[in-house]
Amino acid sequence: MDNPVTRISVRNLVEFILQSGDLDNRRGTIDKDAMLKGSRLHRKLQKQMGGDYRAEVALRMNCSYEDLDIRLEGRADGIFTEDEVVWIDEIKGIYGNVEQMEEPVKVHKAQAMCYGYIYGVQEGLSKIGIQMTYANLETEVVKRFREVISIEELKEWYQKLLDEYHKWLSYQKKWKEERNYSLQSLEFPFFYREGQRKMVSSVYHAIGASRQIFIQAPTGVGKTMSTIFPAVRAVGEGKGETIFYLTAKTITRTVAQEAFEVLREKGMKYKVVTITAKEKLCFMDETKCDPVHCPYARGHFDRVNDAVYELWTTKSRYDRETIREQAEKWQVCPFEMCLDLSLWVDAVICDYNYVFDPTVHLKRFFGEGAGGDYVFLIDEAHNLAERGREMYSASICREDAVRVRKVMKERAPRLYRSLGKLDKQLKELQVDCGNYLVLPGTGSITMTILKVQGEFDAFLEAHKDVELEDEVRKFYFDIRNFLNIAELIDENYVVYAENGEDGLFRLKLFCVNPAVNLGEYLKKGRSAVFFSATLLPMSYYRKLLSNRQDDYGIYVESPFSQKNRCILNAGDVSSLYSRRGYEEYHKIAEYIAKTVWQRKGNYMVFFPSYKMLEEVYAVYEEEFSVNWVKCICQNSSMKEQEREEFLQEFEQNQESLVAFCIMGGIFSEGIDLLGEKLIGAILVGTGLPQLGNEREILRSFYTENGENGFDYAYRYPGMNKVLQAAGRVIRTREDHGVILLLDERFRQREYSNLFPVEWNDRKTCTLSNVEAQLQKFWESIPDKISHKL
């Protein structure tokens, strides 16, 4: 039987095996402009070398081992003969002063050595010349380094390089065989709930057919296990490789970890890494990834491969604690080590941005030209629409440009002048702007920003050890992001300028519909599963999240009895702006009181804004508070510890608790308060986003494109918040609770059509009869604990 063949480029191999030195993120990655300049300079230098010079010579070589073959391939920049010596030329364009270079960069030279060995063997040479050509991208000043090496010497070096890489591939092959064998007999770990078998089957077939599927599945179906189980089974049968479980919140990442752990207990062998935000993994008080500020950055690349290999080959679950412990042991950056480890595991649990964000995505998987047999499991997929808009939008702030210009005046005169031109152009826009102004495009501003970035890069390359102020560094990355997003602009974008409420003037590239951009990353994989308890209406989410025509969707019905919960819609109260005032706040406060008085327990009340929350809370405390009901309020600046303490209140044994929260906020989705921890949710208003420039731009955009603009900009996002908040109440078969919808607009067809099918038993109430209806419901529920008043 033929060995499996692993292909790898010369560049990727030497950068992986021979990486060394410090981690230093003070500079951005090479941008497209620099790559274009480099390509032009390559071609220019190649032409200057004369007719004997062969440019872009494709080379490849196989190396066979007992268990697999490695195929190394790439293109030598040039091959030529001089004084009876064949030379391999490797050209590198840089912004730095090439005349000050004393030797070539190790990995650059290693590329040329690989090409030299391959060509030397193929041509039967005994020696070969290695020429490193460095050229400044701005001045085009050139410096060359030359060395003649025997093929015999290169052979020993080359074999050692491939042997080191084979070590990784050999373990990976053995592990996958072991993994796939463990999956053959893997069974679903629980008794199937109603709807769960349908979901598992649909996910499995979607992955097998390399399709995308949208799943609306209510809380309690067990969505996490119902997507992970069929995905790992599909991988075990060769219908996929790396699974990416994508989430918007930390709590859902924890749930996914636990699901994989349950399957491990059933015999599954699977290596799973959870990527935690850099700030949460970092050992230092301040996250600065450079050798000056961080001891773990010093010599990071000298040690990180050994750290990753040891962890990868000895463990299978890589959570935050495991990553930090290994990084501490090897004295490397835990975040970067975690990213390196992700290349070798079977599943990656991470935030959306590690896949979709053009600035921070995992370039190892999703960079230009990358791709694979990936399976995307996208949890709480309703969040991806707004997140997508954020990821693919960019802005430039005039006031930031002015501040940075002042700071850099003496240090970088050319940059100072370029920023002056940018300021002038933005100022001209600002004069005609008013509140906001939709523009046909960015005009010549993009070219000016491109010039600014070029000057910035030249300055940074010439002053590698300079410590930039935070505002300067931020502005540098802002302009890089602006230029990257500018290349994506199409009919799904609106370019506009605005005088913001914060007093700052911005030019913004606003991605109105992120489907095309998201699709570019989804195409790099095999299949995608979008699932959520609130994907209604599904047509809306399909248009915002996918541009494929063969997507399909399923609706999974609730496994819970309608008798376990009571849904009431108040017909005599409203959260409309025109109705807000003491009278309406008094009604809302009275509804809260009458609900809590019917049954002791924990309740959450969700408001559309902090202002309304505070106003109603004040009325409630003044007129309806009783000593056996404790009230707590969410605030806009809660730290992680405060959030945990807020949720811990639901674990206490006080008689009753009322938590005043924000609809769409941190406590309205992704939290599990099971059983008696929460018995009621009161939803104030339809969740409509506040009026703003971007909301109005969205409304206009979709209206002009033949849709109901109000639905797309306001109603659909608002109702999603409502349904998410309501979903906190019933989480298991044993849960009982009430859901109060406090807004008369819920009775309108435009809103009621967006309710789940299982809400068809909701009833209307008023202040005069809400207590009677609640009493009737609670009397039908067995009273495990004495809740009656």
Inter-axis angle of helices 334-342 and 320-330, nearest 10: 110
CB 364 within 8 A of CB 370: yes
What integer pLDDT is reported at residue 467 of this predicted model? 75
pLDDT, position 47: 81
Note whether 243 and 348 are within 8 A (CB): yes
Residue 34 pLDDT: 57
Instruction: Locate 698 and state its tokens.
Output: 């969205």
User: How do residues 733-761 score in pLDDT, each as one tens digit?
Assistant: 888 999 999 999 999 999 999 999 999 99
Handedness of CA 535, 361, 472, 514 (dihedral sign): negative
| 138 confidence band (pLDDT: 50, 70, 90) | confident
**pLDDT tens across 557-604, in order?**
888 889 999 999 999 999 998 888 999 999 999 999 999 999 999 999
- List, in sequence order, every beta strand (DSSP E) within 111-270: 127-136, 142-150, 212-216, 243-247
Q: How far apart are CA 591 and CA 501, in angstroms?
A: 35
Q: What is the pLDDT of residues 152-188, one digit of tens each?
A: 999 999 999 999 999 999 999 999 999 999 999 999 9
Amino acid letter, 182: S
- In this predicted structure, what is the pLDDT of residue 361? 87
In degrees, rounded to 5, the angle at the alpha carbon of residue 72 between the alpha carbons of residues 111 and 167 is: 95
Assigned CATH topology for domain 211-391+515-555: Rossmann fold (3.40.50)
Tokens representing residue 768 in the block: 């005069």
**What's the pLDDT at 482?**
97
pLDDT above 90: residue 369: no
Strand ranges in 229-336 using DSSP code E only, listed in sequence order = 243-247, 272-274, 317-318
- pLDDT at site 789: 47
C-alpha distances in angstroms, 267 versus 189, 232, 322, 403? 10, 13, 21, 59
Per-residue pLDDT reduced to its tens digit, 14-27: 999 999 999 987 65
What pLDDT is stored for residue 41 in this prediction? 79
- Whether the Cβ atoms of residue 669 and residue 725 lie closer than 8 Å to each other: yes
Lowest mean pLDDT among 150-164, 464-478, 704-718: 464-478
The per-residue pLDDT for 785 is: 46
What is the predicted pLDDT for the residue at 27? 55
Pair 564, 736: CB distance under 8 Å: yes
Residue 140: CA count within 13 A, CB half-sphere:
9
Distance CA 203, CA 376 (A): 11
**Shortest CA distance to 247 belongs to which of 122, 349, 136?**
349
* Mean pLDDT in residue range 57-83: 95
What is the pLDDT at residue 504?
Answer: 95
pLDDT at 706: 94
**Any bridge partners for residue 661, and if so which?**
606
Give the tens place of pLDDT for each residue, 764-787: 999 999 999 999 999 998 765 445
| Mean pLDDT, residues 206-235 | 94
pLDDT in tens, 264-309: 999 999 999 999 999 999 999 888 888 988 999 999 999 999 999 9
Considering the chain, what is the average pLDDT of its residues?
Answer: 92
Q: What pLDDT, in 10s, does the model give residues 79-105?
A: 999 989 999 999 998 877 888 889 999
In 3D space, the residue among 292, 283, 279 whose CA is nearest the CA of residue 333 turns out to be: 283
Domain 395-511 has CATH 1.10.275.40: yes
Instruction: Look at residue 741 and give its three-state secondary structure.
Output: strand
- Interstrand relation of 656-662 and 629-633 (parallel, antiparallel or unpaired): parallel
Above pLDDT 70, what percent of the chain?
Answer: 97
What mean pLDDT comes out for the span 439-466?
Answer: 88
Asked if the domains at 5-169 and 211-391+515-555 fall in one CATH topology, the answer is: no
CB 325 within 8 A of CB 281: no
Which residues are bridge partners to 657 per DSSP? 602, 630
Tokens 């072991």 sit at which residue?
178
Q: What confidence tier does 1 reach under pLDDT thresholds 50, 70, 90?
A: low
Selection from 329, 330, 713, 671 nearest residue 533 by Cα? 671
Sign of CA dihedral 443, 446, 452, 458: negative
pLDDT confidence of residue 37: 63
Burial level of 414, CB count in 10 A (0-12/13-18/19+)? middle
Which amino acid type is present at position 637? S
Looking at the predicted structure, is the pLDDT value of residue 77 above 90?
yes
CA dist., res. 761 & res. 756, Å (int): 11
Q: Is the pLDDT of residue 674 over 90?
A: no
pTM of the full structure: 0.91
Query: 562-779: what CATH class?
Result: alpha beta
Q: Where are the domains of the chain?
A: 5-169, 211-391+515-555, 395-511, 562-779
Query: What is the spatial distance between Cα 707 and Cα 247, in angstroms, rounded to a whole number?
Result: 29
CA dihedral sign of residues 442, 443, 449, 450? positive
More reliable by pLDDT, 150 or 36: 150
pLDDT at 474 over 50: yes
Instruction: Please name the helix (run of DSSP H) or strand (run of DSSP E) that holds residue 605, with its range, or none.
Output: strand 602-607
Mean pLDDT, range 211-223, rounded to an integer: 91
The runs of H, that is alpha helices, within 392-513 are: 398-408, 413-431, 445-462, 470-486
Q: What pLDDT was estimated at residue 33?
A: 53
115 versus 368: the higher-pLDDT residue is: 115
Q: Is the dihedral of CA 499, 505, 508, 510 positive or negative?
A: negative
C-alpha to C-alpha distances, 471 to 393, 399, 508, nearest whole angstrom: 20, 11, 19
* Mean pLDDT computed over 515-532: 96
CATH topology of domain 5-169: Lambda Exonuclease; Chain A (3.90.320)
Q: Identify whether the C-beta of residue 268 lies closer than 8 Å to the C-beta of residue 232.
A: yes
Instruction: Write out the H or E segment, with its range, that includes residue 273.
Output: strand 272-274
Dist. CA 482–CA 514, nearest whole Å: 16
% of the chain surpassing 90 pLDDT: 79
Residues with Cβ within 8 Å of residue 602, at least 6 apart in sequence? 650, 656, 657, 659, 673, 676, 677, 678, 679, 680
Q: 480 pLDDT band (50/70/90 cuts)?
A: very high
- Which residue is it, tokens 């009397």? 779
